[in-house]
A and B are shown apart, each in its own frame.
Chain A
Amino acid sequence: MNNRLVELKNITKSFGNVNALNNVSMEINKPEIVGLIGDNGAGKSTLIKILSGVYAPDSGEIFLHGKQVEGHWSVARAHAAGIETVYQDRALCVQHTIALNIFMGREITGAFGLVKVRKQYEEAERLMREIGFTSRVFTPDSVVATLSGGERQGVAIARALYFEAELLILDEPTNALSLTETQKVYSFMLAAKDKGSSVVFISHNIYHAYDIADRFIILDRGTVVMQVDKSEVESAERLVQHMKDFARAGHAS
């Protein structure tokens, strides 16, 4: 298929005795919003960390635009390939400023590796204005520790948007957010899709995922148990029912 963006094949990952992922295969097309759902501990975060280059899988293959990834897949390579991730833990340094957090690991540098602090400040300011940092009390110089949970989440999301991803991955982005804030995150996802990007949206709340996704991938204890288009499920309740069935089947076996 020519609109295939990413394909994961037979990904397996263990942490000691814990088998986090078992032969997981999935694909992400372009453009679409994929809802990756499953209970806590199903392996969702582990899966997207492998895709983002944080963890190396024990075995399995990653394909990008139909080409197999050779050698060590890393965060830097994922960034270069246009994969941006909002991690569940937000990946922030709370003792530091918003601007530093946005550019951490990808500092804007000039001669001798000196960081263009001014430029980073201006870019961060522009970004904050564009995506809705309307508050005047926050500047790019504000220390992240002084922000609320939702505001910190906003910084993590803003950072991912800044780098204009081809694939935007959001790991439970709406957990700390109010209803209006959640709506805003949805609008970001839809805007990204409108621009031709793909989005992976992780949630353990199926109602959240059902609202927004085009397709669902259900993970259960490290295994993909279902991949289904939204058109094939009548309602969020149906999806919940499916998950319960899988959980029951799993316990029975």
Chain B
Amino acid sequence: MSASAIPTPAKRRRTRGPLAKYLNRNRRAISALAIFAVLLIIFTMANPRIFTNPITYRAIFLSLPISLFVVVPLVFIVASGEIDLSFPATAGITSWVFSAAVQSGWEPVAALIPALLLGVVVGLVVGGLVTYVGLSSLVATLGMNFLMRGIINMGTQGVAIQFPQMRTTALWQAFAGRIEGFPVINGFPVHMLWGLGFVALGWMLFNRHRLGIRVQIVGDNPDSAAEMGITVARVKIGAFVFLGIGAALSGVLSVLVNQNWWPTTGDGLLLPALAAVFVGGTPTWGGIGTVVGSSIGAFIIAFIETGIIGAGLTGYVTQFFNGLVIILSLIGHRFNGRRYR
């Protein structure tokens, strides 16, 4: 018998090999991948020609990165134990600043800077309201969403901004152009690469950087975090700032892709992006999350939209199908474990 304050070897537990450990540690992301595989099989059986053709995926990748730029930071927010409903309006207001600057003659690359700065400011304000003022993030961000969209509406009186020349700019080429000279992905949108790069960066930040690890600690147990010297408020504000930056990138990308800014830009992101986070396996209770899983979740949500049409169904079933996938995925993720206490 071990005379330790610590683990007794008396109990026999299964020792696992490295592969089993790897699978176990990444089970949420792997489940998300499995959900995608099931969808892929269903759609491909319905219409093999469409779903074996890369063109189909090109269409998905046109819109997917716009949501990836908010889904990845949302994983941080949810893992920190908070929620955010203000990112659609943040994307709207930051891309408005970008569009107004470009319209008044700024270089698009330069116009990106005030948009990003505004994203940071919004993150600081939202984070400050949640931590220092102590408001519920659910309600505070709901209010911020209305507030910022209201500012847009009052400021623009509903008038959109068009950019017929956007495709000639350096920013468009670099950020929203087309990949050339590669097999299979030739003609794919460049922002697919930016989106994947952002996911990689997010993964690194979440799993390997002090900031992301502290986000998880704070979400798991804020009292423990404080007792170990972590400033909980600062970590949470950091997560909201990251979301502000992501929302700005998302909004600007949407303007580039559509060559148009609307007073409603970003609005359509709210529910699909949140659904992506949870379908991808990030649990609602905080403390843990999966950047890769939730990014696959974003792909699943985008895939459903395209898949429904491709499979020959009418667009009217999209929402029903979305709902079905969300519920079934959550049931699936139950097997990844409940909340530990």
Q: Which residues of A are at the interface with B, using a C-beta cutoff of 8 A?
A: 49, 52-54, 74-76, 78-79, 85, 87, 89-96, 100, 104-107, 109, 112-115, 117, 128, 131-138, 141, 143, 145, 147, 150-151, 153-155, 157-158, 173, 177, 180-185, 188
Contact = CB atoms under 8 A, between A and B. Distances in A.
Contact of B341 (A74, A132, A133, A145): A145
Interface in B195-233: 204, 208-211, 213-214, 216-217, 220-221, 223-230
Given A106-B228, A135-B8, A114 B208 contact: yes
Contacts of B13: 137
Contacts of B115: none
B229 A128 contact: no
A221 B340 CA distance: 35
Interface of B: 1-9, 11-15, 21, 25, 204, 208-211, 213-214, 216-217, 220-221, 223-230, 287-288, 339-341
Chain B interface, DSSP helix/strand/loop, else mixed: loop
A76 to B, nearest CB: 5
B229 A113 contact: no
A131 B3 CA distance: 11
Contact of B210 (A74, A115, A157): A115
Nearest to B2: A134
A154 B229 contact: no
Nearest to A117: B208
B327 to A, nearest CB: 24
Contact of B229 (A76, A89, A109, A157): A76
User: Which of B216, B226, B227 gathers most chain A CB within 10 Å?
Assistant: B227
A111 B1 CA distance: 43
A100 to B, nearest CB: 7
B223 A89 contact: yes
Contacts of B288: 95-96
A250 B5 CA distance: 37
Contact of B226 (A75, A95, A131): A75
A54 B225 CA distance: 10
A93 B4 contact: no
Contact of A180 (B3, B204, B209, B223): B3
Contacts of A132: 2-6
B6 A133 contact: yes
B223 A115 contact: no
A62 to B, nearest CB: 16
A107 B229 CA distance: 11
Contacts of B14: 137
B73 to A, nearest CB: 18
A53 B229 CA distance: 8
Contacts of B210: 107, 109, 113-115
Nearest to B7: A135
Contact of A133 (B4, B15, B220, B223): B4
7 contacts: A53-B229, A75-B226, A91-B224, A93-B221, A105-B214, A133-B7, A181-B5
B340 A134 contact: no
